[in-house]
Structure 1
Amino acid sequence: MKFKVSAELAYNVKAPSTLILNINALRTDRQNIIEESLVLDPHINSEELPPIHGENRFVRLDIQQPGPIAVSYHALVDNYYEVRNHSNMPEIPVAQFHPSVLTYLNPSRYCQSDKLYRLASNTFGHIHTPFEQVFAITDWIHKNVEYLSGFTNSETSAYDTVTQQAGVCRDFAHLGIALCRALTIPARYFTGYAYQLYPPDFHACFEAYLGGDWVLFDATRLTPLNGLVKIANGRDAADAAIASIFGDVEFKSIKVSSEYAGETPFEPIYYTRHVSDGVTYF
């Protein structure tokens, strides 16, 4: 499944500074980058930093001269999605988790799972399988949290979202992650390009570790699950920021695009629930 993605960012640099960008599509076993380009105007010394855990592709810009800077990223990406029935998948004991998964069980800056344990246990603890628990979490968030653009800010946490009952995609993701971790289900932040998202922008959702694999969930339901191109994973948004600024740099504008480039018609995938012959399928 192929997508053409792009990002156009503009900044005004007022003094020598460093800018770390996180807009390059990630290379994974299920995501192949066919072609890509990153153009900086004017030319600036830049380097792609080696990933520590293979979960991002940070590009560091060493900016010495003040003035306007334009960043243009374009890529053609081929994604592979697999649909599985996780409804009866047994829970994997923590003792069998790979060490790289364990960090996604802990509370983090925006995902205070320790503060939401009682809510998670009382609301979802009675559900028998991990997948059904995560599905119920996303369903609960979608019904109880209003998607409200501009309502929150960079300091808003999962605990804040529970009390304010409103937020944007990153807030939906943080709350889903925190509730999963409170139930001892590893969960991590996902940021990427999103097909059919309106208005076009970078999108945030989350992945839960189920049956030995990372499974994608999106409580906003604003874009098809198979319409996402991964940029990065992290414990929360602090690990996967689109841009980190060190110095006197003013953000000016952003334009994001994701277009389907496949040969066959696009068929969107969402998690849905239906009942057949008395059995519930996901």
Structure 2
Amino acid sequence: MKFKVSGDIVYETYSDSTIILNIHALRTPGQTVLEESFTVEPYFKIEELVSEQGENRLARIEVPANTKVGFSYQALVDNSYRVLTRDDLYDVPVAAMDASVLPFLFPSRYCQSDKLYRLANNKFGNIEHPYAKVMALTEWIFRNVEYLSGSTDSQTSAYDTVTEQAGVCRDFAHLGIALCRALTIPARYFTGYAYQLNPPDFHACFEAYLGGHWVVFDPTKLCPLNGFIKIASGRDAADTAIANLFGNIFCHTIQTSCELCDEGFEPLFYDPSDIKAISYQ
């Protein structure tokens, strides 16, 4: 399916500053960027970077003090995904995992899986099938954590979310990742543009490593799982921030959109009674 996505951000600087943006759609085997443009107004030199993981696309811009600067990204993207069934979603022993997957088993800044080991195993450890485990913890987050805008901040971790039982998509994703890792299932943070998300915004969910595939899950259930355009993936939000700001900077506005350009879209949400999942690889 083809989607037209856009992201517009306006900052004001009060000192000489450097801004690193992460709003470009990824180019992957399952996601083709057909057209795109990225503009800065007023114009400043843009340096294009690739993250250390070799996937996330970054733009670094130096902006002088006392400047109001706007960034505008637009792209036409064709995304595709693989539908997986029960036989595809087997458990992968740690000894058989590729080295690139192992970092997504470890605790990270916002996903303290070591602190949630007892909770994860008491609630979900007796579930045999790995996909059923991830489905159960995703459903548990949806039912036990209230989606509440403004209830958390950039310091909130998965451990905090369990205690406060409220958060936004970022917090739902972090908790899902931490619980997966506590169950010895690698999991990573996924950020992107999302079709039918209301109100429109950058969206976060997570991917679990099942049967050698990165399978997408969204505990918020705010938008269809087959309507994502991926921007970045990483251990948690620290690896995938939409913007990293260095200097005295104020954000005026952030606006996004994700519009369908094809017909025949059928929204896909997981059904716990039907083992069917999707991978964007």
1:266 aligns with 2:265: yes
* Alpha-carbon spacing, 1:151–1:172, altered in 2? closer, same or farther (3 Å): same
In the alignment, the residues of structure 2 paired with residue 228 and residue 50 of structure 1 have an alpha-carbon distance, to the nearest angstrom, of 21
In structure 1, C-alpha distance between the alignment counterparts of 2:60 and 2:131, rounded to whole Å: 38
Are the aligned partners of 1:87 and 1:131 in contact in 2 as well (CA < 8 Å)? no
- Counterpart CA distance in 1 for 2:86 and 2:196 is 26
CA distance in 2, matches of 1:250, 1:244: 12
Q: Deviations over 1:159-198 (max 9, x none)?
A: 0100111100000000000000000000000000000000
Post-superposition Cα deviations, 1:92-120, rounded to whole Å, max 9, x if no partner, equal 11011110100000000100000000000
Distance 1:35 1:201 in 2: 21
* 1:184–1:18 CA distance, 2 compared to 1 (3 A): same
Determine if the alignment matches structure 1 residue 126 to structure 2 residue 129.
no
Q: What is the DSSP-based 3-state SS (H/G/I as helix, E as strand, rest coil) of the residue aligned with 1:142? A: helix
Q: Counterparts in 2 of 1:174-189, with a 5 A limit?
A: 174-189=174-189
CA RMSD of aligned residues (A): 1.2
SS of the residue corresponding to residue 118 of structure 1 reads: helix
Q: Residues of 2 paired with 1:151 and 1:85: CA distance?
A: 37
Q: What SS does structure 1 have at the residue aligned with 2:100?
A: helix
Q: CA deviation at 1:87?
A: 6.4
1:194 counterpart = 2:194: yes
Letter in 1 for 2:17: S
- TM-score, with structure 2 as normaliser: 0.96
Give distance in 2, aligned partners of 1:105 and 1:242.
23
Q: Which amino acid in the other structure matches residue 92 of structure 2?
A: I
Q: Which deviates more, 89-98 or 126-135? A: 89-98
**Match of 1:205, SS?**
strand
- Between stretches 265-274 and 39-48, larger displacement belongs to 265-274
**Distance of 1:57 and 1:198 partners within structure 2:** 26
The aligned length equals: 276
TM normalised by structure 1 equals: 0.95
Where do residues 31-46 of structure 1 align in structure 2 (5 Å cutoff)? 31-46=31-46
| Local SS of the residue matching 1:28 | coil
User: Taking structure 1 as reference, are residues 87 and 143 closer, same or farther at Cα in structure 2, changes over 3 Å only?
Assistant: farther
Gaps of 5+ in 1: 275-279
Structure 1 stretches of 4+ with a deviation exceeding 4 A read none
Deviation at 1:88, TM superposition (A): 7.1
Segment drifting more, 79-88 vs 127-136: 79-88
Identity %: 60
Q: Which amino acid aligns with 1:272?
A: D
The one-letter amino acid paired with 1:75 is: A
1:277 aligns with none
Q: CA deviation at 1:214?
A: 0.3
Q: Report the AA paired with residue 258 of structure 2.
A: S
